[in-house]
Amino acid sequence: MKDYLSLLFMKFRNDIYEYYGKESRSFPWRSTSDPYRILISEIMLQQTQTFRVMGKYERFLEAFPDFSALAQADLASVLTFWQGLGYNRRALNLKKTAEIVMRDFGGRLPDSPEELTTLPGIGHATAGAILAFAFNHPVVFIETNIRRVFIHCFFQDRQDITDREILPLVEGTLDRNNPRQWYYALMDYGAMLAKSV
């Protein structure tokens, strides 16, 4: 059974990477591993489609290029640059996070899930994404597109799949050598599946 699972997971990884090699999407936050820039993108991408984030991400970073600039900015200015993304609480959380990072972490975003999830607006999935994309840590997390991929590939004949059922598969298929690229590949495959429904 273990050998069968290993082969199944290897084929799954190969299929996802094959698709990614041909159809990977390009976003400005994928060309950096800077923790601040990854944090900004991940908070912006919460409940917001990528095409809306694309128009705001670079302008926000020009106005607030690092934790220090964001922590010192007045909230009205932050909200002005956030306008159009909705859910303004996320902008407030980002500013509070910048203040905490400057005050408690010497201006550096922590790289542990325990510390990240103490920051405003950062739950398990966002912390996992930050750890994978900024620090290339082999963490296990689920978000919408990742969930879609695993349901499509492993639970085609079932409804009402729980994250508890999916998590062991995410862990078993994880590319521990390059989690950053692996999660980008999963997300792109999931985005493709969403369009094909």
Of 18, 23, 42, 62, the catalytic one is 42
Directed axis angle between helix 75-82 and helix 50-63, to 10°? 150
End-to-end CA distance of the chain: 32
Taking the C-alpha atoms of residue 146 and residue 142, their distance in angstroms, rounded to an integer, is: 6
CB-CB contact of 43 with 126 (8 Å) = yes
CB-CB contact of 146 with 186 (8 Å) = yes
Taking the C-alpha atoms of residue 104 and residue 115, their distance in angstroms, rounded to an integer, is: 11
Q: Give residue 169's identity as a one-letter amino acid code.
A: L
Q: Give residue 148's identity as a one-letter amino acid code.
A: R
CB-CB contact of 166 with 150 (8 Å) = yes
Active-site residue flag, 114: no
- Of residues 111, 113, 72, the one with CA closest to residue 95: 72
Residue 13: how many other CB atoms lie within 10 Å? 16
Q: Give the residue numbers annotated as catalytic, written as ranges.
A: 42
